[in-house]
Amino acid sequence: MAELTPFGFVAGDSLLHRLDARFKILFLIGLSLTSVRVHFGGLAVLTLALAGVIFYCRLQLKSAYRELRYFLILLTLVFVARVLSTGGAAAISLGAMTVCVSGVTAATLVCWRLAFIVLVGLCFVATTRPVQIKAAIQWLLKPVPLVPEKKVAAMLGLIMRFIPVILNQARQTAEAQKARGIENRKNPVYRLTRLGFPILRRSFECADNLAVAMEARCFNANRTDPELSARRRDWIAAGALACLCVALLIN
């Protein structure tokens, strides 16, 4: 049986679990925008606050690391590209390549921001039920003209549910190929194609089966969604987060 992934809802009774999904979406947007504007001091404060939330909600960081290791590779590539593309006084020269202090600083800041945004999104997904995310997105898009909010929310809800399925299929395929000695192949392109095509095929098969099942059950976007109600704790959390973001942006 496939393992659970961190890209899905984890049941809990923490304050973050009990907050309104609409507020959590606004928190996600606000924290992401704030992280883009602040520098090292502000990012340190936001990261410490996020670490406290992760510890409080008891999210499985070990499992998250296994799933995010490819994102860490992407961050490494972004770091190297940023270092080599930023001009300044050269601190280290490696042939035609030069590394400067300003490049390392800028690359660290960019990678830190990206990692923070990903972790904030991970906390949001792990503490919010997909049906609540769908209802919140539908509510937020309802005032926007010419946007079919119900269809958009339904598609995003399906995407949220399919991410763990795709990750489980990738894990199963990798384990099956490892049992067949795929690691003996030194060609990375061969190994990547042998891993990628089965995952794509199985993902499309699951999507096709899901579409047939939804059509057989006369699925449509006009469904009864859970009732969303803002409570006192939601407004208190919104006020506290707004004060934190404003204070960091002013300094």
Structural domain boundaries enclosing 151: 15-250
User: Per residue in 98-125, pLDDT tens?
Assistant: 677 778 888 899 999 999 998 898 888 8
134 found inside a domain: yes
8 found inside a domain: no
Helix (H) or strand (E) holding 132: helix 130-141
Nearest-angstrom CA–CA distance, 230 and 235: 8
Task: Give whole-number Cα distances, 67 to 28, 61, 71, 99, 192, in Å.
Answer: 21, 10, 8, 31, 17
9 found inside a domain: no
132 found inside a domain: yes
How many structural domains comprise the chain?
A: 1
2 found inside a domain: no
User: Per residue in 173-182, pLDDT tens?
Assistant: 888 888 888 7
Q: Could you give phi then psi for residue 66, rounded to 5 degrees?
A: -60, -40
In DSSP terms, 174 is beta-bridged to: none
Which residue from 138, 154, 148, 167 is spatially nearest to 214, judged by alpha carbons? 154
* Structure confidence at residue 4 (pLDDT): 43
218 found inside a domain: yes
137 found inside a domain: yes
Does the pLDDT value for residue 216 go beyond 50? yes
Contact yes or no for 217/3 (Cβ under 8 A)? no
